[in-house]
């Protein structure tokens, strides 16, 4: 999982115009600014074959190569990009640099070493529109450091993506992100879409050696992802709320909604400083501020698209039961397990939702909707031996088919 996350970050930063290299001292300010961010993120200094700057806001870099060394169980990575074309580069009065357009060709990330198998990701084409680069300050304020940690662009997109691990190849239509807000602070609304990642039958079989998915009729899987949200930024804190959805065609989708505010920007600053120096983050000094983080609504929702009806007979058979008996007894079995929560109203709600969902699988939703804002400090003072109280404070509810 850690390798996958690192690969995703590396690919997005490298191929979506979030980071660029410098090779000589006299490079355009935009290249130098982005390279500094790259070096902070990955401790890697890329090289390139050629850099052309027409002096009118257009820069082209060819044959870029960057290597990130393996670190213990974390694998190393190699990035290659055939060409990077930056257009309409201009310095803003705010101190930001606006890159009107950026186009990447023949991007490839190769991952090797560590504990996992070799992996490669190929993206023949990707592009960016109105990318606002923050020039790093040697002594930034927490808000400046927070902004420098973000990459802001009105639109980023790619063509087809190929992901290879061992002999298995997964393809995706591409991705697109949009953002609209204040370039200076980074506050604004954003969206994300990743289209149709197809996991072929051979890869599904490798992930599921017992063949359970094939028995259910899923020879290959088509996965998509989407998200949206809004970032708010204050003088010393920020807030984030958003929605994420992961869907598997003809199986179902998982949707998550979340929100939090009063998150100290100093937390991000400390995390970046720790990453830059290669040490663990020390958040002890920030603990009083972290206790004031306010938790908003949260929702986790599953929407069925046929998998439940396919699973029930299989589960019933393994339990030595008929499907009808499994559905009829599910509520009673849940009731016994929920007794330890010490909240009978909530337990009855869960049992009712489970019974309704199994009889007619459409959706199943877990929601947190506190009647009043809840801070982390308040949660820390709750009695761990009385989980029912936490359920009431957080406004936890479970519903089906709504």
- Per-residue confidence (pLDDT) for residue 6, from 0 to 100: 46
Q: How confident is residue 329, by pLDDT bands cut at 50, 70 and 90?
A: confident
Helix, strand and coil in the chain, % to nearest 5: 30, 40, 30
Q: How confident is residue 40, by pLDDT bands cut at 50, 70 and 90?
A: low
Q: How confident is residue 93, by pLDDT bands cut at 50, 70 and 90?
A: confident
Out of 269, 296, 323, pick the residue that ends a domain: 296
In the chain, the largest separation of any two C-alpha atoms, in whole Å, equals: 76
Same domain, 218 and 353: no
- Which structure tokens are listed for 216? 């259910």
Given a cut of 60, is residue 18 above it in pLDDT?
no
The structure tokens 């002999």 sit at 167
Same domain, 226 and 82: yes
**Better-predicted residue by pLDDT, 354 or 42:** 354
Host domain of residue 376: 302-400
Same domain, 30 and 73: yes
CA separation for the pair 109, 121 (Å, rounded): 5
Which of 76-85, 131-140, 241-250, 288-297 has the weakest average pLDDT? 131-140
CA separation for the pair 392, 254 (Å, rounded): 25
Same domain, 317 and 360: yes
Residue 289: name the closest of 342, 360, 238, 329 by CA: 238
Question: What total of structural domains would you count in the chain?
Answer: 2
- Per-residue confidence (pLDDT) for residue 190, from 0 to 100: 97
Q: How large is the average pLDDT for residues 188-207?
A: 94
Same domain, 95 and 217: yes
The structure tokens 């990453």 sit at 275
- The C-alpha angle 193, 9, 103, rounded to 5 degrees, equals 65
Given a cut of 70, is residue 331 above it in pLDDT?
yes
The structure tokens 């958003």 sit at 242
Same domain, 323 and 273: no
Same domain, 292 and 307: no
CA separation for the pair 65, 67 (Å, rounded): 7
Alpha helix locations (H) across 26-141?
A: 29-42
Q: How confident is residue 42, by pLDDT bands cut at 50, 70 and 90?
A: low
The conformation of residue 257, written as its DSSP 8-state character, comes to E
Q: What is the pLDDT of residues 357-397, one digit of tens each?
A: 999 999 999 999 998 889 999 988 988 888 888 899 999 99
What is the chain's mean pLDDT, rounded? 87
- Per-residue confidence (pLDDT) for residue 21, from 0 to 100: 39
CA–centroid distance for 15 within its chain: 16
CB 265 within 8 A of CB 272: no
Same domain, 219 and 314: no
- Per-residue confidence (pLDDT) for residue 150, from 0 to 100: 84
- Per-residue confidence (pLDDT) for residue 272, from 0 to 100: 74
C-alpha torsion sign, points 229, 189, 20, 26: negative
28: how many CB neighbours lie within 10 A of its CB? 18
Out of 251, 270, 296, pick the residue that ends a domain: 296
Q: What is the pLDDT of residues 251-299, one digit of tens each?
A: 999 999 999 999 998 888 787 777 667 678 787 877 888 899 999 899 9
Same domain, 260 and 330: no
Given a cut of 60, is residue 161 above it in pLDDT?
yes
Which of 75-79, 178-182, 303-307 has the weakest average pLDDT? 75-79
Share of the chain above pLDDT 90, in %: 55
Out of 233, 267, 296, pick the residue that ends a domain: 296
Same domain, 129 and 194: yes
- What's this model's pTM, rounded to 2 decimal places? 0.83
Given a cut of 60, is residue 226 above it in pLDDT?
yes
Same domain, 119 and 171: yes
């Amino acid at each position: 999982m850690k390798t996958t996350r690192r690969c995703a970050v590396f690919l997005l930063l490298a191929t979506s115009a979030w980071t660029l290299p410098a090779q000589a001292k006299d490079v355009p300010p935009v290249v130098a600014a982005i390279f500094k961010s790259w070096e902070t993120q990955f401790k890697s200094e890329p090289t390139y074959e050629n850099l052309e700057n027409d002096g009118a806001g257009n820069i082209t870099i060819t044959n870029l190569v960057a290597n990130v060394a393996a670190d213990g169980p974390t694998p190393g990575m190699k990035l290659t990009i055939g060409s990077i074309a930056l257009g309409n580069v201009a310095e803003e009065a705010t101190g930001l640099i606006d890159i009107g357009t950026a186009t990447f060709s023949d991007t490839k990330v190769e991952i090797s070493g560590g504990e996992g198998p070799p992996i490669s990701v190929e993206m023949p084409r990707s592009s960016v529109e109105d990318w606002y680069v923050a020039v790093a300050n040697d002594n930034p304020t927490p808000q400046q450091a927070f902004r420098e940690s973000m990459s802001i662009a009105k639109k980023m997109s790619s063509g087809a993506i190929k992901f290879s691990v061992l002999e298995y190849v997964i393809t995706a239509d591409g991705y697109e992100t949009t953002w609209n807000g204040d370039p200076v602070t980074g506050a604004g609304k954003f969206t994300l879409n990743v289209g149709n990642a197809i996991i072929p039958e051979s890869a599904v079989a490798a992930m599921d050696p017992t063949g359970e998915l094939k028995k259910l009729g899923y020879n290959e899987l088509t996965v998509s992802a989407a998200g949206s949200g809004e970032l708010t930024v204050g003088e010393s804190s920020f807030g984030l709320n958003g929605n994420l959805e992961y869907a598997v065609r003809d199986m179902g989708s998982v949707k998550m909604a979340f929100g939090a505010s009063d998150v100290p920007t100093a937390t991000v600053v400390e995390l970046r400083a720790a990453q830059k120096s290669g040490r663990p983050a020390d958040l002890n000094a920030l603990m009083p501020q972290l206790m004031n983080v306010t938790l908003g609504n949260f929702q986790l929702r599953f929407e069925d698209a046929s998998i439940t009806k396919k699973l029930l007979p299989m589960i019933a058979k393994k339990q030595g039961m008929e499907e009808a008996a499994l559905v009829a007894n599910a509520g009673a079995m849940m009731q016994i397990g929920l007794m330890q929560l010490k909240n009978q109203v909530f337990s009855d709600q869960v049992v009712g939702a489970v019974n309704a969902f199994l009889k007619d699988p459409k959706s199943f939703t877990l929601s947190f909707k506190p009647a009043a804002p809840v801070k982390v400090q308040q949660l820390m003072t709750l009695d761990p031996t009385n989980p029912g109280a936490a359920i009431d404070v957080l406004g936890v509810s479970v519903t089906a088919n709504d």
